[in-house]
Structure 1
Amino acid sequence: MRYGSVCSGIEAASVAAALPIEEPSPRSWQRPFLKWAGGKYSLLPELDRLIPAGKRLIEPFVGGGAVFLNSYNHADFLLADVNADLLNLYQMLAVVPDEVEKHARVMFERLCNPEGYESIRSEFNAQTLSAVERAAAFLYLNRHCFNGLTRYNLSNQFNVGWGKPKAPYFPESEIKAFAEMAHNCVFMNAGFRHTLALAGSGDVVYCDPPYEPLPGTNGFTAYAAGGFNWDEQVALVECCVAAHQRGASVVISNSGSPRIAELYSQYGFTLHHIKSRRSVSCKGATRGTATDVIATMVGSV
């Protein structure tokens, strides 16, 4: 029996050695249910490689949520943004997803035209809707407005125009994927300073702030009232360094602006340069690829 076991082991090893080694299948990525300017879906392979594992992932600029939706390396999530309508939608989907979906479906099915869009936008801006209705309206506006932009005027009214969608897609499966993860999430309507002050030992922070405009361009920095200027970029880095000193690992994405690279290097971040797509512009000639920076500060202080 002993010799038989040895022989069978040798035969098995020979068979195993003869079999071709299969390459791991490409990972499939979960799409967010929102269209989001500056969303990170196309950069997920790079971000997944650079964002370390940890118990809790903190996102002070959660936006469309592409990063947290595709995280297999974190058990809990603290997701924040200054956009109250975005956070209301996320919170309603976490608590009463079926109600949000029911209201949104009616809007998608009956109001896919410029007049319907204007009607929903007017009700939304009148602040007369319930929390669930407002969540559904925000989803409708996002999927029907121009390029999924989220923009408000000085009176805090949503002012993005009709996007002329031919056949708006209702993101049912994407909403369900979000709802399945929501029980592991804490959603917070807050700025990055307050959010990052909560980061500490064992946390992983991913920041996706409004990008610093490249030299010779205007960029899009209308993150909140007053915009997101250079002082905010510096304050964000300082808050991230403080979080790292408390034990958190930090990853930040931004444009390839030379002064952004200089700022991150000055504070001790490791820089990774990657190619990304730009798709917000209405002019096809100005859409294309650009070089982004992903800055990391991981490990012990």
Structure 2
Amino acid sequence: MSSREDLKSRPPGPNRIINSVLKWAGGKQRQLQQILPLIPEGLRLIEPFVGGGSVFTNSDKHGSFLLADVNPDLIAMYQMLSVVPDIVIRRARRYFENNNTPSGYSNVRKEFNLQMLNGPERAAAFLFLNRHSYNGLMRYNLSGGFNTSFGHYKAPYFPEDEIIAFAQNAHNFVFMHSDFRKTISLAGEGDVVYCDPPYEPLPGQPMFGEYTPGGFNWQDQTDLVNACTTAHRRGAKIVISNSCAPAIDELYRHAGFTIHHIPRRQSISCNGGSRETTTDILGVLQ
């Protein structure tokens, strides 16, 4: 019996939101009730910035999925979870049980950055680092090394049920390590493209651009809109999330997007009690 078949004996309960395998800064888990109704039906859902994957994990409007990201470690983890989820679970559990200390975390991060691990082990290490790093930030230096500090959490959640739910549906998923330009160029009639790029900072706020070396600048924001409007002319439907920065609002309206506003609780803060609610833009082009 294959790994995926072994895991099918423990399906998720009916009619419930499936949480992401990852703890993801900027993830859409808390906004799904507002986002999912605005994503059109289609034959295939394409996500050029798949990230933590809350949207595709909970989609019931699409039969297949093309899921891409510029982070090769993220895509490699999803691919390993698709083919050998039981091995990743076993290895990740050992990390969770034995390495939740500053030195243990540092050792795993060092092995990860030195490329010392095979595919399933590296996927397990990525999952461990994500769940044990500060605020779940997946931050890289200019040399491509993962450099987020230890989070000092007493008992980080081990997402076994989420991995099992993911593995059940993995036959519908295609993962691709790709820039958004290439990914969106594959979209056409029958496709729905959901984009969740790095957000444009609000006036006076610093840019968070350490998810990958090089960041995500204004030229990338405009290139994204151009790629999406071109895909729309080929027949694709488009949805984009972003901040409510005035420049983004103007950019999306000028490109013909219908603008929706959805609330978001700030998720990056040293003091969880001080987190505030802000508003995001969701642009739709049908």
Structure 1 and Structure 2 fold alike (TM over 0.5): yes
List structure 1 segments (4+ residues) > 4 angstroms apart after TM superposition.
none
Q: For 1:151, what is the secondary structure of its paired residue? A: coil
Answer whether contact 2:142 2:214 (CA < 8 A) is retained: no
Q: Following the alignment from structure 1 to structure 2, what is the Cα–Cα distance between the partners of residues 29 and 35?
A: 15
What does 1:56-75 align with in structure 2 at a 5 Å threshold? 56-75=44-63
Residue 213 of structure 1: how far off its partner (Å): 0.2
Residue 224 of structure 1: how far off its partner (Å): 2.5
Residue 275 of structure 1: how far off its partner (Å): 1.0
Q: For 2:169, what is the secondary structure of its paired residue? A: helix
Structure 1 residue 172 and structure 2 residue 165: aligned? no
Percent identity of equivalent pairs: 59
What does 1:99-110 align with in structure 2 at a 5 Å threshold? 99-110=87-98
Q: Following the alignment from structure 2 to structure 1, what is the Cα–Cα distance between the partners of residues 142 and 285?
A: 37
Q: Following the alignment from structure 2 to structure 1, what is the Cα–Cα distance between the partners of residues 169 and 48?
A: 18
Residue 285 of structure 1: how far off its partner (Å): 6.7
What does 1:193-232 align with in structure 2 at a 5 Å threshold? 193-232=181-220
Larger Rg, first or second structure (1 or 2): 1
Residue 240 of structure 1: how far off its partner (Å): 0.2
Give the root-mean-square deviation of aligned CA atoms.
1.3
Deviation readout 1:16-71 (Å, 9 max, x if unpaired): xxxxxxxxxxx631110100000000110111110011110000000000000000
Which fold has the larger relative contact order, with Cα–Cα distance below 8 Å and residues 6 or more apart in sequence? 2
Deviation readout 1:219-244 (Å, 9 max, x if unpaired): 31334222100000000000000010
Answer whether contact 2:49 2:180 (CA < 8 A) is retained: yes
* Equivalent in the alignment of 2:238: 250
* Equivalent in the alignment of 2:142: 154
Answer whether contact 2:141 2:210 (CA < 8 A) is retained: no
Residue 287 of structure 1: how far off its partner (Å): 2.0
* Equivalent in the alignment of 2:267: 279
Structure 1 residue 79 and structure 2 residue 67: aligned? yes
Structure 1 residue 97 and structure 2 residue 85: aligned? yes
What does 1:230-269 align with in structure 2 at a 5 Å threshold? 230-269=218-257
Q: For 2:240, what is the secondary structure of its paired residue? A: strand
Residue 156 of structure 1: how far off its partner (Å): 1.0
Q: Following the alignment from structure 1 to structure 2, what is the Cα–Cα distance between the partners of residues 293 and 59?
A: 17
Deviation readout 1:102-153 (Å, 9 max, x if unpaired): 1111111111211111110111111111111110100000011101000011
TM-score, with length taken from structure 1: 0.88
What does 1:105-144 align with in structure 2 at a 5 Å threshold? 105-144=93-132
Deviation readout 1:146-199 (Å, 9 max, x if unpaired): 010000111211101110011121111011111112110100000100000000
TM-score, with length taken from structure 2: 0.93
Which of 20, 30, 45 aligns to 2:18? It is 30
Q: Following the alignment from structure 1 to structure 2, what is the Cα–Cα distance between the partners of residues 39 and 229?
A: 20
Answer whether contact 1:212 1:221 (CA < 8 A) is retained: no
Answer whether contact 1:211 1:221 (CA < 8 A) is retained: no
Unmatched segments (≥5 aa) in structure 1: 1-26
- How many pairs align? 273
Q: Following the alignment from structure 1 to structure 2, what is the Cα–Cα distance between the partners of residues 139 and 160?
A: 13
* Equivalent in the alignment of 1:4: none
Q: Following the alignment from structure 1 to structure 2, what is the Cα–Cα distance between the partners of residues 132 and 172?
A: 15
Q: For 2:111, what is the secondary structure of its paired residue? A: helix
* Code of the aligned partner of 2:31: L
Q: For 2:241, what is the secondary structure of its paired residue? A: strand
Q: For 1:122, what is the secondary structure of its paired residue? A: helix
Residue 286 of structure 1: how far off its partner (Å): 5.5
